[in-house]
Amino acid sequence: MQVDVVIIGTGQAGVPLAARLAAAGRRVVIAERKALGGTCTNYGCTPTKTMVASAQAAHDARRSARLGVKAGPVRVDLAAVVDRKERIVRRWREGVGKRLHRHAPRLTLVRGHARFTGPRRVEVAGRSYEAGIVIVNVGARPAVPKVTGLERVPWLDNATIMELRRVPEHLLVLGGGYIGCEFAQMFRRFGARVTVVDRAERLLEMEEPESSAALAKAFRAEGIALATKTTADSVARSARGITLSLKGGRKVSGSHLLVAVGRRPNTDDLGADAAGIRLDAKGYIEVDERYRTSAEGVYAVGDCTPGPQFTHASWDDHRILFDLLQGHGSRTRDDRLIPITAFTDPQVARIGLTEREARARGHAPEVATMEFGEIARAVETDRTAGTLKILLDPKTERVLGASIVGAEAGELIHIFAPVMAAGLAARAMVDLEYVHPTFAEGVQSLVMSLPRYKIE
Query: Which residues are annotated as catalytic?
Result: 436
Q: Are 394 and 385 spatial neighbours (Cβ–Cβ below 8 Å)?
A: no
CB-nearer residue toward ligand FAD: 110 or 429: 110
In this chain, which of 31, 58, 78, 192 binds ligand FAD, going by CB under 6 A?
A: 31
Which span sits near ligand FAD by CB under 6 A: 8-16, 288-296, 399-407, 444-452?
8-16
**Per rule CB under 6 A, is residue 265 in the interface with ligand FAD?**
no
How far apart (Å, rounded) are the C-alpha atoms in residues 267 and 246? 31
Strand partners, 130: 2, 121
Q: Are 333 and 291 spatial neighbours (Cβ–Cβ below 8 Å)?
A: yes
The SS3 assignment for 14 reads helix
**Per rule CB under 6 A, is residue 180 in the interface with ligand FAD?**
no
In this chain, which of 6, 9, 188, 192 binds ligand FAD, going by CB under 6 A?
A: 9
Side-chain half-sphere exposure of 373, counting CA atoms within 13 A: 6
Q: How far is the CB of 98 from ligand FAD (least distance, A)?
A: 17
In this chain, which of 310, 372, 416, 453 binds ligand FAD, going by CB under 6 A?
A: 310
Among the listed residues 184, 190, 223, the one whose alpha carbon sits nearest the alpha carbon of residue 203: 184
**Per rule CB under 6 A, is residue 303 in the interface with ligand FAD?**
yes
The SS3 assignment for 115 reads strand
Q: Are 257 and 240 spatial neighbours (Cβ–Cβ below 8 Å)?
A: no
CB-nearer residue toward ligand FAD: 22 or 342: 342
CB-nearer residue toward ligand FAD: 49 or 247: 49
Q: Are 254 and 167 spatial neighbours (Cβ–Cβ below 8 Å)?
A: no
Which span sits near ligand FAD by CB under 6 A: 133-141, 201-209, 384-392, 398-406?
133-141
CB-nearer residue toward ligand FAD: 120 or 377: 120
Q: How far is the CB of 94 from ligand FAD (least distance, A)?
A: 15
CB-nearer residue toward ligand FAD: 159 or 424: 159
Which span sits near ligand FAD by CB under 6 A: 32-40, 197-205, 206-214, 384-392?
32-40
How far apart (Å, rounded) are the C-alpha atoms in residues 446 and 454? 10
**Per rule CB under 6 A, is residue 177 in the interface with ligand FAD?**
no
Site mask for ligand FAD (CB under 6 A), range 77-116, x = bound: ------------------------------------xx--
Q: How far is the CB of 25 from ligand FAD (least distance, A)?
A: 24
**Per rule CB under 6 A, is residue 58 in the interface with ligand FAD?**
no
Sign of the alpha-carbon torsion through 378, 383, 386, 392: negative
**Per rule CB under 6 A, is residue 33 in the interface with ligand FAD?**
yes
Q: Are 345 and 49 spatial neighbours (Cβ–Cβ below 8 Å)?
A: no
Q: How far is the CB of 365 from ligand FAD (least distance, A)?
A: 26
How far apart (Å, rounded) are the C-alpha atoms in residues 385 and 81? 26
**Per rule CB under 6 A, is residue 387 in the interface with ligand FAD?**
no
Which span sits near ligand FAD by CB under 6 A: 39-47, 205-213, 289-297, 364-372?
39-47
Q: How far is the CB of 330 from ligand FAD (least distance, A)?
A: 23
CB-nearer residue toward ligand FAD: 11 or 401: 11
How far apart (Å, rounded) are the C-alpha atoms in residues 346 and 405? 6
CB-nearer residue toward ligand FAD: 113 or 292: 113
Residue 172 sits at φ, ψ, to 5 deg, of: -95, 130
How far apart (Å, rounded) are the C-alpha atoms in residues 133 and 120? 7
Among the listed residues 350, 311, 319, 340, the one whose alpha carbon sits nearest the alpha carbon of residue 47: 311
In this chain, which of 3, 19, 29, 40 binds ligand FAD, going by CB under 6 A?
A: 40
**Per rule CB under 6 A, is residue 179 in the interface with ligand FAD?**
yes
CA geometry: angle 401, 405, 408, nearest 5 deg: 105
Long-range CB contacts (within 8 A, 24+) of 55-59? 55/185, 55/186, 55/187, 55/189, 55/190, 56/189, 56/345, 58/189, 58/190, 58/191, 59/189, 59/222, 59/345
Residue nearest to ligand FAD (CB): 139
Question: How much is the CA Rg of the chain, to the nearest whole Å?
Answer: 24
CA geometry: angle 260, 262, 264, nearest 5 deg: 125
**Per rule CB under 6 A, is residue 414 in the interface with ligand FAD?**
no
Which span sits near ligand FAD by CB under 6 A: 289-297, 308-316, 355-363, 419-427?
308-316
- Return residues touching ligand FAD (CB under 6 A): 8-13, 31-34, 38-40, 43-45, 48-49, 113-114, 137-139, 158, 179, 266, 270, 302-303, 309-312, 314, 343
